[in-house]
Structure 1
Amino acid sequence: MTKVEVQPFDKDWFSRPGDSVLSAMRRRRVSPSAVAERLAGGMPQLREILSGFGGIDDEAASALSSTVGGSIPFWISRQEKYQKSLSQAVEQLPAEEADAWLEQIPTPGPKRRITANTRTTELERRLAYFGVSTLKSWDARYGPNQRVARFRRSLTFTAHDGATSLWLREGELEANLRQTEAWSREELNERLSDIRALSRIRKPSRFLKPLAALLAGCGVALVIVKAPQGCRASGASRMIAPDKAMILMSFRHRADDQFWFTLFHEIGHLLLHEGAPFVDVEGMDVADDPQEREANEFAATIIVPKFREAELESLPARDEPIRRFAVSLGVSPGMILGQLQHRGIVPHGVLRRLRRHWTWEEIFAED
């Protein structure tokens, strides 16, 4: 895993009306469900407004005015001014940058064919969705390295970069719609054992809701978003507001050891690194990254406490001893298998029956 640090927007970003809605909701402590109840389109309409895709008409302006404040004319004017700014931003894009947006940065939904007639609309969709007016500001928030020097060298981003930015933005939107308590590092520390105990539950449909509830009580919105094609990220963590953190999970490989290790890794980032944003991507060298090593060590210690590491490393590569050790620790056997394989004690591909694998239907099932 490696981190992708996400820096604040540069001066060339611009604010969507949905950003003002979200800010007003937080300031007045109005829940997403309370706003959605007043909108004709309910929660889907609120999500569209926050995403930048949905506009604010007279009816929506009335609903917003009655829930988060501001007059109806204010919200109508806010939408009109934003649409004007968005059109101007598209007009000012250099041709090379516009091509890079269209060819390399995706938006949600099926891939659309770009024509001369749809070019402007598609550029507006991308700028609106990511809330930026240039690729430089997109790179600062969602890009691969967030370094101005890299951006100046090239406008070329990989398929992974574009797909990962889409995954991150989807996660932010979902996290913004989750109700949580105020972020508390102390509360999260206290709940680690309760979170860890959930790994013994076999079905995601039975552990994800209590897991999300435990994290929400600490001010962390847990979001599960399937990674789009080209995205190799397994997890991400960041503060999405001063009092709200997000952990985004992709369920990469759909296996219990990978899911729980990644979750504890992201919790480690939140606890150890002051809420700094991270995107963790598999297959990358982390030898020179002390924060990634710290998060890995934190996750491993949550699974197997330090005082039991010697016992772990003396386990034979057999089913029953591993199961007994897992039971004694109160974690799933797959998590112990994963630690043994990571240490090179058990070869990969051996004892697969100890690891739980899930289908997407099982992951998103409602019990």
Structure 2
Amino acid sequence: MNTLLDRAEQLDCPKYSKPKFEKAVREIRTLTVLPPEEFEPQIQKLCWEAGVVLVLVPSIKKAHVSGVARWLNPHKALIELSLYGKTNDRFWFNFFHEAAHILLHDKENIFLDEWDSGESLKSEQESEADQWSREFLIPSEYEGKLAELKSKIDVIDFAERIGIHSAIVVGRLQHDHLIDPSWMNGLKVGLHFQGIE
């Protein structure tokens, strides 16, 4: 992992641009419907062009770390995502959560995020990044519709209407206790990136 971090620090990329990164994350949201071999090079490129290095790392046994956001220098940010959980709903929520730290929070902090660390233990900035990611993936104007989704067909239609992968909708329904955690997991996709276990 240190080798990846060393490479990220040495990687030459354009200076960070908040407007470019905001545009990039909007475009990246549309990529959630693609398989990993298609979206991975595109998100790497879109982040890089905005001055954000995206590094994907294997999950560490018995560690529930899902991601890290930090600044490598005043002009270059880093998002490091672990494949902990390895399903696309978690991956995308984590990506946008880390993107929120880069967009919203100061450059001095390092944000190390654990999956399901417990709402009561979260800092204000972590809660803000969670809320931003939730809202960015499923805008609040659609929140009332979530409780109406009772079947896989409903979920797929709703996801298509708002332009995201159906797994993200399932993850949200499970997180909000609108469906049982064992329901509709067949809509989730296990992620495998080349060279990362």
Q: Which has the higher strand share?
A: 2
Q: State TM-score, norm by structure 1.
A: 0.50
Once residues 104 and 66 of structure 2 are traced to their aligned partners in structure 1, the CA distance between those partners, rounded to angstroms, is 19
Aligned AA (2:68): A
- Deviation string 1:52-100 (CA, Å, 9 cap, x unpaired) is xxxxxxxxxxxxxxxxxxxxxxxxxxxxxxxxxxxxxxxxxxxxxxxxx
Give the alignment of 1:102-113 within 5 angstroms. Answer: none
Once residues 227 and 353 of structure 1 are traced to their aligned partners in structure 2, the CA distance between those partners, rounded to angstroms, is 22
Q: Find the partner of 1:257 among 71, 83, 89.
A: 89
CA contact (8 A) 1:219 1:245 kept: yes
CA contact (8 A) 1:234 1:282 kept: yes
Residue identity (%): 26
**Structure 1 SS opposite 2:112:** strand
- Deviation string 1:148-187 (CA, Å, 9 cap, x unpaired) is xxxxxxxxxxxxxxxxxxx5x4442231243321011221
Once residues 205 and 174 of structure 1 are traced to their aligned partners in structure 2, the CA distance between those partners, rounded to angstroms, is 22
When residues 175 and 351 of structure 1 are mapped into structure 2, their CA distance, relative to the original with a 3 A threshold, is same
Once residues 100 and 57 of structure 2 are traced to their aligned partners in structure 1, the CA distance between those partners, rounded to angstroms, is 20
Q: Is residue 16 of structure 2 the alignment partner of residue 180 of structure 1?
A: no
Once residues 258 and 295 of structure 1 are traced to their aligned partners in structure 2, the CA distance between those partners, rounded to angstroms, is 14
Aligned to 2:181: 348
Q: Is residue 122 of structure 2 the alignment partner of residue 292 of structure 1?
A: no
Once residues 207 and 181 of structure 1 are traced to their aligned partners in structure 2, the CA distance between those partners, rounded to angstroms, is 21
Q: Which has the higher helix share?
A: 1
- Deviation string 1:266-320 (CA, Å, 9 cap, x unpaired) is 001111112331010124224252111100000001110111111123322x100
Once residues 128 and 173 of structure 2 are traced to their aligned partners in structure 1, the CA distance between those partners, rounded to angstroms, is 19
Q: Find the partner of 2:26 among 193, 210, 229.
A: 193
Aligned to 1:138: none
- RMSD of the TM alignment (CA)? 1.7
Q: Is residue 51 of structure 2 the alignment partner of residue 225 of structure 1?
A: no
Larger radius of gyration: 1
Aligned AA (2:136): I
**Structure 1 SS opposite 2:95:** helix
Q: Structure 1 runs of 4+ off > 6 angstroms?
A: none
Aligned AA (1:310): G
Give the alignment of 1:1-367 within 5 angstroms. Answer: 167=1, 169-202=2-35, 204-275=36-107, 276-287=109-120, 288-316=122-150, 318-358=151-191, 362-364=192-194
Gapped regions of structure 1 (runs ≥ 5)? 1-166
Aligned AA (2:187): L
